[in-house]
Amino acid sequence: MAQVFSPSADTWFRLVLIGVPLVIVGLLLAGAGLTSSQYQTGEGWTVHQQVPFSHKHHAGELGIDCRYCHTSVETAANAGLPPTQTCMTCHSQIWTDAPMLAPVRASYATGKPLVWQRIAQLPDYVYFDHAVHVKNGVACVECHGRIDRMPLTYQAKPFEMRFCLSCHNDPASGIRPPSQVTRMDWSGYDRDALRRYGASVVRHRGIDPKRLTNCETCHR
């Protein structure tokens, strides 16, 4: 009787039985790794801007308050971006011929706004209100990280659902006195005292974690 399969067929069959599951597992692990990677979340990534604005210089070294540029952060859902006139308040007098500020001068001369690329970007199906958070004392650093140390601005935290829920499940952990909401460095403060303060605000204002974690709070 003629042999149907070659002598090596059994070896190849065994390799396929072992190899296919390994490939599937490998693809699943690679997919899981990609979804949680910084490439996917945007954490740590910078974005090209018309003007290489340095928060390290302005907010860190010069100590300019966040609200000087982001004027609507306490009153509106969006923090707001500064108009060119705000930039020219200083740069009509200093660094007046700096090549990197040529787009700012052109914007001021023509009245055409600068186009800034968003870095802290949330999906369209997520509702976020800056004013609500700031008024309740959620410090800027909780979401934006040490912006005062960033020569080029990057996304400091992974703006995923689990990140938001980590605070919404325990709101007392991130609440600070509203007058100190733009403070970046809290290392010299007693963490237990800060937590007690946050807990007192939660009680006083009736902040309910169950409500904060309700789907319709962020998905409207």
For the chain, domain boundaries:
120-218
Cα distances from 146 to residues 2, 156, 178, 181, in angstroms, run 76, 8, 18, 13
Quick one: average pLDDT of 96-116? 95
Query: pLDDT for 36-45, tens place per residue?
Result: 556 566 687 8
Q: Assess whether pLDDT exceeds 60 at residue 139.
A: yes
Quick one: average pLDDT of 66-92? 94
> Residue 89's CB: how many other CB atoms inside 10 A?
11
More confident residue, 188 or 51: 51
More confident residue, 24 or 120: 120
Distance CA(111)–CA(88), nearest Å, equals 12
Question: What's the confidence (pLDDT) of residue 52?
Answer: 93
Question: What's the confidence (pLDDT) of residue 61?
Answer: 96
DSSP 158-173: --SHHHHHHHHSSGGG
Q: Assess whether pLDDT exceeds 60 at residue 117.
A: yes
Q: Which residue has the tokens 């902040």?
A: 207
Query: pLDDT for 2-40, tens place per residue?
Result: 555 566 656 766 666 777 777 677 666 655 555 555 656
Query: pLDDT for 153-187, tens place per residue?
Result: 999 998 989 999 999 999 999 999 988 999 999 98
Question: What's the confidence (pLDDT) of residue 54?
Answer: 96
Distance CA(220)–CA(218), nearest Å, equals 6
Residue 47: CA count within 13 A, CB half-sphere:
14
- Which pTM does this prediction carry? 0.77
Question: What's the confidence (pLDDT) of residue 185?
Answer: 93
